[in-house]
């Protein structure tokens, strides 16, 4: 019905009016027939009422003004306001479950605007009881809301939460606990953790089970495995310590060499540069190559001394 009214109306306000008029006609005439016939009749009636409202608005709109001008509305609340209001309602609904029935009844009547005397007439309570119900109901409601916001309610229900995880919760506290879990995400996550704790403890604590069962080959095998693991851890620790000391020694040596080079001054650097330059000159390289090719110098050979010429023989007279 409302969708049909919005389809044939000029504004959401007109659609609401057409929907209300169609509902009044339905309650007044009480048509009979099958369900399909009743639905068609409601759609037709809603359409006629929406068109009638449009014709009436066209007649009463002054000349020169557009009939489809949207009516100014109030400020639209943003998503943050909606979320905050929803959270307040959630906390209020959870706190309302802990109030007494007579307190809830008196608070509702007071919210409708009735006086104390009118509440007494409607409920049959005395003036003192009405006053006590309103006072204690307000105080209890605010205390519950404050406890939920501060986490005190979660701490109060923690023992019952553990019992619920083990399936041992009592019937009298189960209803309150379930209503709290419906809205408290923290306690729901904690309940999942409580249910997983026994299996995790059993997986992490095999020595306790072995010690409880006494000695035997199983315990010896476990102790040998633990000892081997400890030896491996100790060996890895010694290797890591030696590697750290080696790296530290190399770093210290490099720092010392750098310090010595800087403290030597420019004279040492210049002297080293000169020696390198002399060794790298072309003349020195050529001389070095010749010496390597020629090899060792030959020893000097003594020269032969020529014999003096022989004197001529004397001739006979």
Express each pLDDT in 70-125 by its tens digit. Answer: 454 444 556 777 777 777 887 787 788 778 899 989 988 888 888 899 899 989 99
How far is 179 from 124, CA to CA, in rounded Å? 31
Confidence of residue 266 (pLDDT cuts 50, 70, 90): very low
Count how many Cα atoms sit within 13 Å of the Cα of residue 290 in the half-sphere of its side chain.
7
DSSP, res 97: T
157 near 180, Cβ under 8 Å? yes
86 near 99, Cβ under 8 Å? no
**Alpha helices, DSSP H, located in 112-170:** 116-123, 127-150, 152-156, 158-165
As a whole number, mean pLDDT of residues 277-290 equals 49
As a whole number, mean pLDDT of residues 145-161 equals 83
How far is 137 from 116, CA to CA, in rounded Å? 15
Confidence of residue 25 (pLDDT cuts 50, 70, 90): confident
Confidence (pLDDT) at 32: 75
Average pLDDT of every residue of the chain: 70
Kindly state the tokens that stand for 22.
């169609």
As a whole number, mean pLDDT of residues 219-236 equals 58
Could you give the angle at the alpha carbon of 146 between the alpha carbons of 143 and 150, nearest 5°?
140
Per-range mean pLDDT, top range of 22-26, 140-144, 152-156, 312-316: 140-144
Tell me the percentage of the chain whose pLDDT exceeds 90.
Answer: 7
DSSP 176-190: HHHHHHHH-HHHHHH
Question: Of 5-19, 182-196, 208-222, which range is least confident?
Answer: 208-222
Confidence (pLDDT) at 132: 93
| Residue 261 or 141, more confident | 141
Question: Of 35-44, 147-156, 206-215, which range is least confident?
Answer: 206-215
SS3 letters across 198-262: HHHHHHHCHHHHHHHCCCCHHHHHHHHHHHHHHHHHHHHHHHHHHHHHHHHHHHHHHHHHHHHHH
| Per-residue pLDDT at 271 exceeds 80 | no
Cα separation values, 5 from 11, 46, 241, 279, Å:
10, 6, 83, 108
Is this model's pTM higher than 0.75 or not?
no
Confidence (pLDDT) at 133: 92
70 near 98, Cβ under 8 Å? no
As a whole number, mean pLDDT of residues 302-310 equals 51
Tell me the percentage of the chain whose pLDDT exceeds 70.
Answer: 58
């Amino acid at each position: 019905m409302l969708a049909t009214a919005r389809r044939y109306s000029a504004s959401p306000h007109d659609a609401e009016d057409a929907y209300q008029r169609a509902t009044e006609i339905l309650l007044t005439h009480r048509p009979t027939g099958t369900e399909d016939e009743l639905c068609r009749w409601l759609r037709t009636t809603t359409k006629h009422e929406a068109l009638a409202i449009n014709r009436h608005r066209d007649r009463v709109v002054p000349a020169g003004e557009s009939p489809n001008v949207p009516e100014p509305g109030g400020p639209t609340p943003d998503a943050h306001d909606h979320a905050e209001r929803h959270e307040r309602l959630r906390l209020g609904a959870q706190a309302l479950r802990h109030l007494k029935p007579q307190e809830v009844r008196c608070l509702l009547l007071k919210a409708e605007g009735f006086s104390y005397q009118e509440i007494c007439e409607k409920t049959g309570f005395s003036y003192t009881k009405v006053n006590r119900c309103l006072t204690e109901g307000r105080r209890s409601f605010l205390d519950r809301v404050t406890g939920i916001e501060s986490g005190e309610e979660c701490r109060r229900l923690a023992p019952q939460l553990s019992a619920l995880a083990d399936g041992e919760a009592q019937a009298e506290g189960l209803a309150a606990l379930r209503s709290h879990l419906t809205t408290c995400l923290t306690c729901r996550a904690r309940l999942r953790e409580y249910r997983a704790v026994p299996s995790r403890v059993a997986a992490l604590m095999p020595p306790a089970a072995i010690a409880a069962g006494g000695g035997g080959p199983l315990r010896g095998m476990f102790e040998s495995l633990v000892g081997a693991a400890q030896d491996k851890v100790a060996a890895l620790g010694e290797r890591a310590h030696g590697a750290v000391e080696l790296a530290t020694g190399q770093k210290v040596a490099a720092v010392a060499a750098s310090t010595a080079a800087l403290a030597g001054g420019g004279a040492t650097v210049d002297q080293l540069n000169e020696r390198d330059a002399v060794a790298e000159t072309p003349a020195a390289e050529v001389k070095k190559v010749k010496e390597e090719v020629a090899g060792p110098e030959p020893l000097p050979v003594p020269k032969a001394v020529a014999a003096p010429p022989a004197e001529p023989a004397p001739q006979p007279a």
